[in-house]
């Protein structure tokens, strides 16, 4: 479902600003995009549009791609297991509260959900290094008590 092809009525990053593709004019070989911040429309060359525009996805689009519900994605974001969406703050009043994800975020989510087994999620697990440190401390303590008991 991820594609480099430019699609009308989808949102892209262009020069670090969110833009919506309004129309693709094949005869003029241009893509007309609208700045979501100021509402201005500009034309960019159709040939280089895939390079100039970087696709961003809404939470609904991501949910369809990873075959999960949007609230499931939000839950894992709160736990810190999935990447945070782009923060747009008050820059785009019409899109306030919307979540936008880059292609790399989507790939990361696909990988995360493909590794998960079906069923209810377990509690957030500790990093492996903290588990190893904990077990090392436990072994040292049991060794001390074993040496003290023998003395």
Mean pLDDT (whole number) for 92-103: 84
Using a cut of 0.85, tell me whether the model's pTM lies above it: no
Least confident window among 57-71, 73-87, 120-134: 120-134
Mean pLDDT (whole number) for 65-92: 88
Q: How many domains does the chain have?
A: 1
Residue 28 has pLDDT above 70, yes or no: yes
The predicted pLDDT at position 24 comes to 93
Residue 3 has pLDDT above 90, yes or no: no
The predicted pLDDT at position 22 comes to 95
Residue 118 has pLDDT above 80, yes or no: no
Of 108 and 124, which is predicted with more confidence? 108
> Residue 146 is encoded by which pair of tokens?
């074993």
Structural domain of 134: 1-151
In order of 26, 90, 139, the CA distances from 149 in angstroms are 85, 66, 15
CATH of the domain at 55: 1.10.1660.10
The confidence band for 125, taking pLDDT boundaries of 50, 70 and 90, is low
Mean pLDDT (whole number) for 58-79: 92
pLDDT mean across residues, the chain: 81
């Amino acid at each position: 479902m991820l594609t480099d092809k430019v699609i009308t009525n989808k949102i892209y990053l262009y020069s670090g600003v969110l833009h919506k593709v309004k129309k693709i004019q094949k005869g003029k070989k241009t893509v007309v995009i609208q700045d979501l911040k100021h509402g201005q429309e500009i034309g960019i060359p159709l040939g280089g549009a895939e390079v100039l525009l970087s696709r961003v996805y809404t939470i609904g689009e991501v949910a369809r791609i990873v075959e999960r519900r949007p609230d499931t994605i939000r839950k894992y974001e709160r736990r810190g297991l999935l990447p945070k969406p782009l923060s747009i703050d008050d820059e785009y009043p019409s899109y306030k509260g919307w979540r936008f994800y880059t292609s790399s975020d989507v790939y990361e989510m696909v990988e995360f959900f493909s590794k998960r087994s079906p069923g209810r999620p377990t509690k957030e697990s500790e990093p492996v290094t903290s588990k190893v440190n904990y077990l090392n401390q436990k072994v040292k303590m049991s060794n001390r008590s074993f040496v003290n008991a023998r003395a």
